[in-house]
Amino acid sequence: MAISRLHVGKRLSEVAIHNRTVYLAGQIAEDTQQDIVGQTREVLGHIDRLLAEAGSDKTLILSAQIFISNMSHFPGMNEVWDSWVAAGHAPTRATVEAKLANPACLVEVVVVAAQRD
């Protein structure tokens, strides 16, 4: 089976598609001056855009892994997540505290989704 990749760079691809499954690289905020609410909104916007390019959307997310720099950000991240996730389509999810590569990043999200039929 063929593998399709979108936004291919030297180090990583933003999207890989195989067997009608969409894999996104970890998404972070570009504007790291924002608080957890702003960074989470931006990250989820990146996810929406990349899924659309790959023929998917947030209702088709199978799993999400969320990395936050400090568990004190958990309520703010969840506030944005809860208003974004499609009702009746909440994916499996794990959230962990992690030291992110860029200390200014407060949240990173990785998702796997199905493509639309």
In this prediction the pTM is 0.96
pLDDT at 57 over 80: yes
**The total number of structural domains that make up the chain:** 1
Q: For residue 1, what pLDDT band results from cuts at 50, 70 and 90? A: confident
CA distances from 24 to 33, 70, 108 (A): 24, 23, 11
Confidence of residue 90 (pLDDT cuts 50, 70, 90): very high
**CATH classification at residue 93:** 3.30.1330.40
Range of the structural domain that residue 36 is part of: 3-114
Report pLDDT digits (tens) over 7-46: 999 999 999 999 999 999 999 999 999 999 999 999 999 9
Query: Any idea of the CA torsion for 64, 33, 78, 100, to the nearest 10 degrees?
Result: 40
